[in-house]
Amino acid sequence: MSDQAAAPRKTTVSPMLSVRNGAKAVQFYQAAFGAEVLFELQEGGSVVAQLSVAGAEFWLADESPEHGNFSPESIAGSTVRLILVVENPDAVYAKAVATGAKEVWPVDDQPYGWRVGRIVDPFGHHWEIGRPL
């Protein structure tokens, strides 16, 4: 075993988004955010995928209400929003909207010291796209 393999694992926390139509969601995040697919498992019409936006990783999976995994479409709201920090929020926001996300509020300088805007994607997940000023 190499020293590297023996090193303690880095602690990470990543969101796993429940969606209807995981295959379409993968395509959307690729187009909207330039996401790369790091891992994808398709089984019986269901998708589990790990995506990376310039190294920022998240997961998505088809919802399975029987296991407590609800899409925002199924329970009419979302319980976790995603804070996407990028170099150029205006450009990333504009591309997401052009790709099919809806504006919630536009990118602007906020009194709490961030330049940030909010969208909701076609699967009902909310994203705040910004950066600290």
CB of 127 to a second copy, least distance (A): 9
Half-sphere exposure of residue 129: CA atoms within 13 angstroms, side-chain side: 30
| Identity of the residue, 23 or 48, whose beta carbon is nearer to a second copy in the bound complex | 48
| Identity of the residue, 20 or 23, whose beta carbon is nearer to a second copy in the bound complex | 20
CB of 98 to a second copy, least distance (A): 19
Binding site for a second copy (CB under 8 A): 8-18, 41, 53-59, 65, 68-72, 74-87, 104, 112, 120, 124-126, 128, 131
Q: CA-CA distance, 42 to 35, in Å (whole number)?
A: 18
CB of 37 to a second copy, least distance (A): 15
* Residue 76 region by backbone torsions, left for phi larger than 0, else alpha for psi between -120 and 50, else beta: left
- Could you identify the residue written with the tokens 């940030």? 116
Radius of gyration of the chain (CA): 16
| Identity of the residue, 23 or 36, whose beta carbon is nearer to a second copy in the bound complex | 36
